[in-house]
Structure 1
Amino acid sequence: MSPRSRSIVSAALIALACLLVPFGALAAWGAYTLTDTGRYVDTLAPLAADPDVREAVAETVGDDILRQVDQHMDVRPVRGSVAPFVHDAVRSFTQTRAFRMAWDTGNRITHDAVLRALREEDGDENAARGPVTVDLAPVTAQVKRQLTEDHVPLAARIPVEHTAVSVLSAGELHHLRKGFHVLEVAGFWLPVAAVAFAAAGIALAVHRRRAVVATALGAALGGGLLALALTIGRSLTLTDLPSGIPHPAAGAVYDALTGTLRTAAWLLLGLGLTVALVTWLTRRLRPARRPRGPAAPAPAPAPSPSRARA
């Protein structure tokens, strides 16, 4: 292969590798973080102490309890006086160790339910048609127990029912199942392909030092674009939320879920720039080699003065 052909193929492979860097990082994050229940629960566990998340949980659970009271008990005149106690009790409950355990358990149950639904085959009609639901009855039972201990009126009569809360509709499940299978495959092969293309491009390059610099700069650019995409994605996600979902709590959840991916993006940016700079500096600071060739003939000795007079 001629040097020109090697340069063209090398440039194409390096460009392809750099293009795959952000997509490979995104696919690997989705395949090995979002689809792993243990990592998912550990990622969201600190949110149990987040004030915005606790306030959102208190409002949601409190409103659900009051709604059940309205449906099963004819005490509407008392609702106005009971509502503050209910919400205060739920807020107090969100500051306990029991809430942190319930938070982790709820996230684990929800994640397991979603994964089971996504991994079911399309031939399973029940899995394909039914939505993914979770049950908030354990949280309601904890709040009822605390209200009863605080001697809140009518607390003992609050119904604790197994209410199925839909977290993924059947229509969304049908579309997400296909993308989930693609994600599981891409999460492994896209990063591997990016590394393989980069290595092949550097090996074929005529000027390998320049190829290393180009690859490093391309990886840094991919990391920067990924960080920018995460920032834009956060804004779009919060903008598209329904009015009933509090944006601060949703933002906290988004930041927690994408924290690993954001770290990977900044790592790609910093590592790529560092490798490019070090490679360029070693080229500039390396002493120039002397050209190899035949030694120049020694100059003839000057004639002595005595011979010159003769």
Structure 2
Amino acid sequence: MRKVLSALLIVLACVLVPLGGLSAWAKYEIGDTGRYVDTMAPLATGPGVRDVIADTVTDGIMSEVEAGPLEREVRAYVHRAVRSFTGTDAFHAAWNTANRTAHDAVLRALRSDREGAVTLDLAPVTAQLKSRLADDRVPMADRIPVARTEVTVLRAQELNSLRKGFHVLEIAGFWLPLAAVALAAGGILLAVRRRRAVTATALGMALGAALLALATVAGRALTLDGLPAHVPRAAAGAVYDALTETLRAATWFVLALGLAVALATWLTDLRARRRAASAVPVPAPAPEPTRARA
């Protein structure tokens, strides 16, 4: 009965490893605005994101300008100027502000009972960007429109479906990792052969971490394949990689730790068995029977 219960607890602990890791990542990494902004901040220096921003701002400026036959030259000049601006501290500040505003809006919607789509007004960010571009003497920056521009961050049907899952993840992100540790400890303590139980637990957790790593890779491919045609794949891939960096690092750590513990425990068990075998006294051979003299 101890063997069956121990094996059951260890299996449940190993199953909870990928689920606990995913829920903890969603709660403490994606669900925290400060960490989210810190994660997204380095993307402002990436070429993929800078190119997308430069193209978008350039299109906005050129829509307000009639350059006539010199449109190609003017567009190229404006694009170079805006692209240069994306390397400044002012752009980084605007980037962080936009990400913080969008993340706060999504979290407030998920944690409340409000209905309807989650929209974000880009007018304050656009005004800040226009002011910075004008200060840097970017050509025709004063023509950037600063009218109220609402961008749909989360549609109504997506909000309703995500809200329940988000509430579950907020609860599971704290309890599932603790449950995995408690079940593993209980299974090892109940085991008849604890060294073997530790080896099995470590290998099972390493397997769960490997499955989570594969799921992260598959999720990246599915996410990029499901994007609309106008969304740049390079920029979207950079965002996905940045958001899952902590998850991937934790996954590889658990995988390496599990394999190391399993190997160390197996070697310790092998050495203990060899010592036990060498400590057993070899029985002395029985004396030969003496023959009676004639």
TM category (shorter chain) comes to 0.7 to 0.9
Deviation at 1:291, TM superposition (A): 5.5
CA distance in 1, matches of 2:70, 2:101: 32
Counterparts of 1:1-310 in structure 2, within 5 Å, are: 5-67=1-63, 69=64, 75=66, 77=68, 80-81=71-72, 82-121=74-113, 127-139=114-126, 141-143=128-130, 146=133, 150=137, 152=139, 154-286=140-272, 287-288=275-276, 290=279
Q: How many residues align?
A: 286
Equivalent residues of 1:65, 1:140 under 8 A apart: no
Cα deviation for residue 83 of structure 1 reads 2.7
Give the drift of 1:183: 0.8
- What are structure 1's unaligned runs of at least 5 residues? 122-126, 301-310
Compared CA separation, residues 103 and 151, structure 1 to 2 (3 A):
closer
Q: Residues 155, 190 of structure 1: CA spacing in aligned structure 2 closer, same or farther, 3 A cutoff?
A: closer
How far off is 1:151 after superposition? Answer: 6.9
Instruction: Evaluate the alpha carbon distance shift between residue 149 and residue 99 of structure 1 in structure 2; reply closer, same or farther with a 3 A threshold.
Output: closer
Paired residue type of 1:158: I
Query: Residue 207 and residue 178 in structure 1: after superposition, are their counterparts in 2 closer, same or farther (change >3 A)?
Result: same
TM-score by length of 1: 0.83
Deviation at 1:210, TM superposition (A): 0.6
CA contact (8 A) 2:187 2:197 kept: yes
Q: Provide, for residues 215-245 of structure 1, a one-character-per-residue CA deviation record: whole Å limited to 9, x for no partner.
A: 0000111111111111111111111111111
In 2, Cα distance between the equivalents of 1:18 and 1:149? Answer: 56
In terms of Rg, which structure is larger?
A: 1
| Cα displacement (A) at 1:163 | 1.1
Cα deviation digits, residues 126-168 of structure 1 (max 9, x gap): x31242324154345534653575473x543433223111111
> RMSD across aligned C-alpha pairs, in angstroms?
2.8
Partner Cα distance (1:22, 1:119) in 2: 25
> Partner amino acid for 2:194?
R
C-alpha distance in 1, partners of 2:21/2:183?
A: 15
1:194 Cα shift?
A: 0.9
Q: Which 10-residue stretch deviates more, 31-40 or 77-86?
A: 77-86
TM normalised by structure 2 equals 0.88
Matched to 2:204, the amino acid is G
Q: Which amino acid aligns with 1:8?
A: V
* C-alpha displacement of 1:247: 0.7
Give me the whole-angstrom Cα distance separating, in 1, the residues matched to 2:121 and 2:146.
15
**Any gaps of 5 or more consecutive residues in structure 2?**
288-294
